[in-house]
A and B are shown apart, each in its own frame.
Chain A
Amino acid sequence: MLFTQLWDLFIAFARASNLGFGGGPAVIPLIKIEVVERYHWLTNAQFTDALAVGNALPGPIATKLPAYVSYQVAGWLGVLVSLIGTILPTVLAVILLTGFLMKYSNSPILKGMLKGVRPVVVVLIAQTAFDMGIGTFPNLITWGIAAVTVVSLYWLKLHPALIIVLSMAFGLLVFR
C-alpha cells in the first residue's frame, strides 16, 4: 500500500516535472493534473491553498508543491520520492550530457521546438488559473480581492508574498 503510494508519487511528479518547459511555473498545470484530476490527492480548492503557501514562500515552486502534497499522502518518505522524481532526471541530464546539450542548446531545431511549445505552456497556465477560479468567487467581496490584487501587483508593485499575507488577514476579519 505504502509502496504503491510512493511509486504513484514518484511517477506523478516525474511526469509533471519532466514535461514542463519553462521552469517551475510551467510545471504547475501538469502537477495540478496529476494531483487533482488523476490521483485525487487534493481537491481543486486544496490545490489552490497549496499554491498560496508555495507562493508566500521563496524558492523554486516545482519543489515546494511536491513536498506539500506528498507529505500529506505518504509522510517524509513521500516527500523524498516526489522530490527525486521532480529533480533527478534533469539533474542527471545537466551533468552527464553537458557536452551534448551545449551543442544542442543552440541548435535551431531545439529553439524551434521550444518556440512551438511556449504557446501551449501559456494556455495550460491560463487554464489552471481558470479552473482554480471555479468556486473561488462565491461573492462580490472575493471579486474585490481579485481586483485589489491586480492593482497591487501592477500599479502598486506590492510583493506577491505580502499580498498573500494581507489577504489572509483581511479574510480573518471579514469572512469569519
Chain B
Amino acid sequence: MLKKLWELFIAFTRASNLGFGGGPALIPLIKAEAVDRYQWLDNEEFADALAIGNALPGPIATKMAAYIGYKEAGWLGVLVALLGTIAPTVLIVVILGSLIVKYSNSPELKAMLKAVRPVVVVLVAQTAYDMGKKSFPNYSSWGIAIVTVALLYFVNIHPAFIIIAAMLFGWAAYGRIRKEKVQDSQK
C-alpha cells in the first residue's frame, strides 16, 4: 500500500512538473506514467477517464490525478496524487510571488516585468488562437463568438451567464444530431 501511494505520488509529481502550458499539456505525460509505465489503466480506460474529465469544468490535471489515484488506492491515493500534481508548483509560485511583492519597488524587477508582460500577452493570445483552431467547425459557432463579444462589450454581463446560455444553445442546436459529432468530439 505504501509502495503504491509512493508510486502515485512520484508518477504525478513527474508528469505535472515536467510539462509546461497548463493542464492540457500534461495529459500525454500523465498517460506515459499511468498507462505505459505503471499500467494502472489501459489505453481505453485512459480515454474514458479523459472523456469524463473533459465533461467537467476546471483543471484537467487534477481530475485525472483524482480519478487514477482513487482507482488505485482509494481516498489516500487521491490525496497523494493531487499533492504530487500541485504541491511543488504551488510552493514555488508562492515564493516567487512574495519575492515580486517584496521587491515591487526595485527598478530591476520593474524593468524585468515591463519586458515580460508583452510575452505573456502573446502567450495568452496564442492560447486563444490554438483553441480557436478547433472551436469553429461551422457558421453557428462564429455566431456564438460574435454574440459573446457583443454581450461582453455592450451589455457587460458576467461570462457565467454566457457560458450557461451557450451550453443550452449547443444542446438545442447540436445535441440531437448524432452522426457528425464524432470528429469534433476529441479536442
* Contact present for B22 and A164 (CB under 8 Å): no
Of the candidate stretches B1-9, B35-43, B111-119, the one touching chain A is B111-119
Give the size category of B's interface with A.
35 or more
* Contact present for A53 and B112 (CB under 8 Å): no
A-chain residues with CB within 8 Å of residue B89 when the two chains form the complex: 57-60, 63-64, 67
* Contact present for B119 and A52 (CB under 8 Å): yes
SS of B interface (majority): helix
User: A153 with B98: in contact, given A22-B131, A54-B93, A57-B92 (CB under 8 Å)?
Assistant: no
Number of interface residues of A (CB under 8 A): 101
Say how far A86's CB is from chain B's closest CB, in angstroms: 7
Name B96's closest neighbour in chain A (CB-CB).
A53
A-chain residues with CB within 8 Å of residue B152 when the two chains form the complex: 123-124, 127
* Contact present for A142 and B114 (CB under 8 Å): yes
Contact of B97 among A71, A87, A120 (CB under 8 A): A71
Say how far B59's CB is from chain A's closest CB, in angstroms: 4
Name A20's closest neighbour in chain B (CB-CB).
B57
* Contact present for A132 and B117 (CB under 8 Å): yes
Contact of A60 among B16, B135, B145, B170 (CB under 8 A): B16
How far is A176 from B60 in the complex, measured between Cα atoms in Å?
Answer: 40
* Contact present for B108 and A172 (CB under 8 Å): yes
* Contact present for B57 and A25 (CB under 8 Å): no
* Contact present for B125 and A126 (CB under 8 Å): yes
How far is A170 from B16 in the complex, measured between Cα atoms in Å?
Answer: 29
Q: A60-B16, A95-B70 are in contact. List 16 more A-B contacts (CB 8 A).
A: A24-B59, A27-B59, A57-B96, A59-B17, A64-B89, A87-B62, A109-B175, A115-B174, A117-B163, A120-B148, A120-B163, A121-B131, A128-B128, A129-B127, A142-B115, A149-B123
